[in-house]
Structure 1
């Protein structure tokens, strides 16, 4: 059974204006509508790319978004800042209307879009529970029945009769989330609630949202930059970029695609690429990865990583450390090598290569930090701009093969280091 359906929804804003136009624009729209013609302003506007200045006052925050969400699904919405995630949640929550398209919902929606939305600072926590619950659509009887449970979950019982203007931001979000989470709605929409609050509260939120989806069969839409939380809680993903739907479906595929679309370089050659990775001590000339066995990098192939760099340092001890992270920003491997000893380093171009053994990494997108160190104390240069993708593979039964997952494998002996002079 469908809980939510988005059909060709788009949202247009006019920069510097409330709404999407002036009186003359509104009259122009009306005149086109009377004559049965399309809104002329739908043909103009640019994608929401914050990195460029643009030439139009009209911006498409979202464009042609289509998806269907089944009842009981936990959906993680991911994307970089400005991708349109919060705008999408506002449309689904009916806070604002889409410029084009339609949204179909089945059931009552509870939204937690901003910390303390609907709270009155002069009112006490107790009064705000009833006020916020009423705004979210709860009856007074329903709030009274759940009041003790809400207060207990929020952990602010001692201050429940204190005006919320004296609450910390953490107490604010605790109480606001507690009210929204205990509303008996079919659909719960949460935007970045884990951005505020301590580790204990974040864990409590995740547990509650897990209970809501798995135990109570309710639908949850969850926006967060915490990719680990997205993967733990959600079974479906929506990936947005510059207002467009890039991927929709399996949450793991969306996370991998999100990592691929970030600023990570999957190959690099300073003679071709415009970006420069260097400082006054180290310059990275090239970076590449290739399978040790086979034609593509998968869990059984193993990976050869090669980095060419120019050292501008001499008469010091130079070392290189490597720290590998997955798409959830979790460190899965770390190793290092002393490149020179006895303070005999020389200026010049060098190549470092090392192998990651087969059956070490699972299907995912990875990136790593490289640290060039001086005398094992000072960092000469660090870059975290390089990465690679490990493709999945299936066995004869069509199941995804998983590697044993060796944590921090000892691969230092696989390093090779040579002077290119």
Structure 2
């Protein structure tokens, strides 16, 4: 029988938000309302009794979480910013205390929640390995035994005696992950810190996490990368406003994330800065049918063309050749395809629209997640922005919503099912 690694009952976490008011003019109704609020705040929070310019608001980061995680389970936690993901991990890791509720842990816990947590900036990498290891509960003998393994994994041997304040964010996270993962815990908790490392190191970390899961360790993993959640985890929960709104297979939970209004399927518009750098920024992206109506959609039939549209703004004139990129993943984390515009162009300052047509009878019936990017390749490769899970859309077969092999009723496998050209002749 499978044992429980983590049991969470009626978990709540409340924060008190202080708002300073600098209002000069107001109506009589506003003055009466403010005076009443101040009196109530003084009764509820006596320590603020002498503050006349502060209003206090209760914010429930976690609001009634009930969750049971089995030993050896790989749980992905997804949700938009502010949903309570990091707060949940910090409470489980005992970094912060819950307002109310109960958590039971069965096994030693190792957490990697923030880059360089537990590091002292003035100490060297060598000294911080011992310091951080001790904070995580390792003995000096255990750290010595695993020291070479930690250094080799982190790839910081040349800088081992350099103070970590001189490390880049990538070196920080490599060393922090190496120490945390060497603890050999029964429960491994990881927040979205792996995004700091480069692609090769991320792959290395995911391999380490995969090895940990195969050895029966319990893993909690927060990420905004849906393909990573889908490929690494065997279960996922969706948080919204401190509550679990979906719990099940990763593919099902990811679909709920996209289809329940927690993101915007079919279209996204950035009202503020948007992803990018000082040269170019993403302004909007859309999925459309090729029907001339110019409307965003997240439902496409197998026999329809799909248009991927990216609107981006070039912020200044330069000699850079901008190259639009599109990356397509299935809900299972499989890469369906990667493509880019082969016409490299030096673009003047202004707003541009890049459109890519995916022909009908090319994609299989499933859900796809599209990442939009702009790169340049000369004199060096540079990714100006990459919005990994920017949009999603569903592809359905017009006949009963499922594509099947003839006369079998078995779904056709694979991310694509192209309508290829065939010839047939008798010899």
TM-score tier, shorter chain, comes to 0.5 to 0.7
Residue 357 of structure 1 corresponds to: 361
Distance 1:69 1:122, change over 3 A: same
TM-score with structure 2 setting the length: 0.63
Retained in 2: the 8 A contact 1:119–1:128?
Answer: yes
Q: Pick from 2, 5, 8 the counterpart of residue 7 of structure 2.
A: 5
- Match of 1:228, SS? helix
| Residue of structure 1 equivalent to 2:244 | 245
Q: Which position in structure 2 is the counterpart of 1:167?
A: 167
Quote the residue 2:51 is aligned against. Answer: none
- TM-score by length of structure 1 reads 0.64
Deviation at 1:387, TM superposition (A): 3.3
1:217 equivalent in structure 2: 216
Matching residue of 1:190: 190
Asked if residue 388 in structure 1 is aligned to residue 394 in structure 2, the reply is yes
CA separation of 1:285 and 1:157: change in aligned 2, threshold 3 A: closer
**Shift, 1:403, TM fit:** 3.1
Give the aligned partner of residue 34 of structure 2.
none
Query: In structure 2, how many angstroms separate the alpha carbons of the residues matched to 1:99 and 1:409?
Result: 58
Answering whether residue 132 of structure 2 is matched by residue 129 of structure 1, we say: no
Aligned to 2:37: none
Alpha-carbon distance between aligned partners in 2 of 1:163 and 1:368, rounded to the nearest angstrom: 37
What SS is found at the alignment partner of 1:116?
Answer: coil
Secondary structure at 1:57 match in 2: strand
The Cα shift of 1:368 comes to 9.4
Kindly state the Cα deviation for residue 229 of structure 1 after the two structures are TM-superposed. Answer: 1.7
Structure 2 counterpart of 1:405 = 415
- Inter-partner Cα distance in structure 1 for 2:329 and 2:205: 25
Q: CA RMSD in A?
A: 4.0
5 Å matches for 1:10-409?
Answer: 10-16=12-18, 24-25=43-44, 57-214=57-214, 216-260=215-259, 261-265=261-265, 286=295, 302=302, 304=304, 326-327=330-331, 332=337, 356-357=360-361, 360-364=363-367, 387-388=393-394, 390=396, 401-406=411-416
TM-aligned CA distance change 1:186 to 1:332, over 3 Å: same
Deviation at 1:331, TM superposition (A): 5.7
**Total equivalences in the alignment:** 314
Matches of 1:239 and 1:402 in 2, distance apart? 29
Distance 1:399 1:160 in 2: 60
Q: CA deviation at 1:256?
A: 1.6
CA distance in 1, matches of 2:153, 2:66: 36
CA–CA distance in structure 2, aligned partners of residues 219 and 111 of structure 1: 12
Change (3 A) 1:72 1:5: same
Could you tell which deviates more after superposition, 133-142 or 228-237?
Answer: 228-237
- CA change 1:335–1:244 in 2 (3 A) is same
Asked if the contact 2:93/2:109 (under 8 Å) is kept, the reply is: yes
- Tell me whether 113-122 or 68-77 shows the greater mean CA deviation: 68-77
- The gaps in structure 2 that reach 5 residues or longer are 20-39, 48-54, 268-285, 287-291, 308-325, 342-356, 373-389, 422-427
How many Å separate the matches in 1 of 2:231 and 2:252?
14
Give the Å deviation of 1:364.
2.4
Rate the CA distance shift 1:207–1:333 in 2: closer, same or farther, 3 A: closer
Kept in 2, the 8 Å contact 1:332–1:407? The answer is: no
* Equivalent pair of 1:332/1:408 in contact (CA under 8 Å): no
CA distance in 2, matches of 1:368, 1:129: 37
Rounded Cα–Cα distance in structure 1 between residues aligned with 2:327 and 2:123: 50
Q: Distance in 2 between matches of 1:236 and 1:364?
A: 18
Pair 1:323–1:220, CA change in 2 (3 A): closer
Q: CA deviation at 1:389?
A: 5.9
For 1:87 and 1:265, locate their aligned partners in 2 and report how far apart those are by CA, in whole Å: 27
CA distance in 2, matches of 1:235, 1:76: 8
**What whole-Å deviation, never above 9, does each CA across 1:114-167 have from its counterpart, x for those lacking one?**
000010011111111111011111111111111111111110011111111111
Tell me which residue corresponds to 1:381. none
Greater alpha carbon shift after TM alignment, 222-231 vs 398-407: 398-407
Where do 5+ consecutive residues of structure 1 fail to align? 29-54, 268-276, 278-282, 293-301, 308-321, 337-352, 370-383, 412-421
- In the TM superposition, residue 334 of structure 1 has moved relative to its aligned partner by 8.1
